[in-house]
Amino acid sequence: MAKKKPSTPSNSIALNKKARHDYILEKKFEAGIQLQGWEIKSIREGKVNITDTYVFLKNEEVYLLNAEIQPLNQASSHVLCEPTRQRKLLLKKKEIAELIGAVERKGYTLVATGMYWQRNWVKVAFHLAKGKHDHDKRTDIKDRDWSRQKERLMKHSTR
């Protein structure tokens, strides 16, 4: 009788799937995030939404904006909770300087693409991105459809 391996939970908390559709993602960055206690409890329960989240620079610091963390009733009864507050991202000075150069000189946008656990810390993945035009989105859809159709053809031709 074979023993079942215990299933390891995924380290992913939330994903921004819309970002790949709306932006051309280039360089990926990973940062820690400064959170309060009630936010960690809510994140453990999975009450996070980062679909319209982006990263901005202010006074040589990096902040996460529009990340919605819904408070739990039992965890936040004594604290005034703001679900969409600005949260500071923790990066090295060298990385911040690189981001400032890309955003101010080259016209990039910083888009959050995922939030995940790394051991016992919450990390945010974000990309340097440029916005896609409508024709870019259409070509991506055509390419995706063609690759699906090609897979179907190959599958049926081998039979």
Q: Which of the four pLDDT bands, split at 50, 70 and 90, describes residue 159?
A: low
pTM, two decimals, is 0.75
Q: Give a yes or no: residue 128 inside a domain.
A: yes
Q: Give a yes or no: residue 91 inside a domain.
A: yes
Q: Give a yes or no: residue 6 inside a domain.
A: no
Residues 1-15: tens digit of each pLDDT: 555 555 555 788 889
Total domains present in the chain: 1
- Here the tokens at position 65 are 């904006």
Handedness of CA 136, 137, 138, 139 (dihedral sign): positive
Partners of 115 in beta bridges: 14, 124
Q: What is the CATH number of the domain that holds 56?
A: 2.40.280.10
Q: Give a yes or no: residue 4 inside a domain.
A: no
Residues 3-60: tens digit of each pLDDT: 555 555 578 888 988 888 888 889 999 999 999 888 888 888 888 999 888 898 999 9
Q: Give a yes or no: residue 18 inside a domain.
A: yes
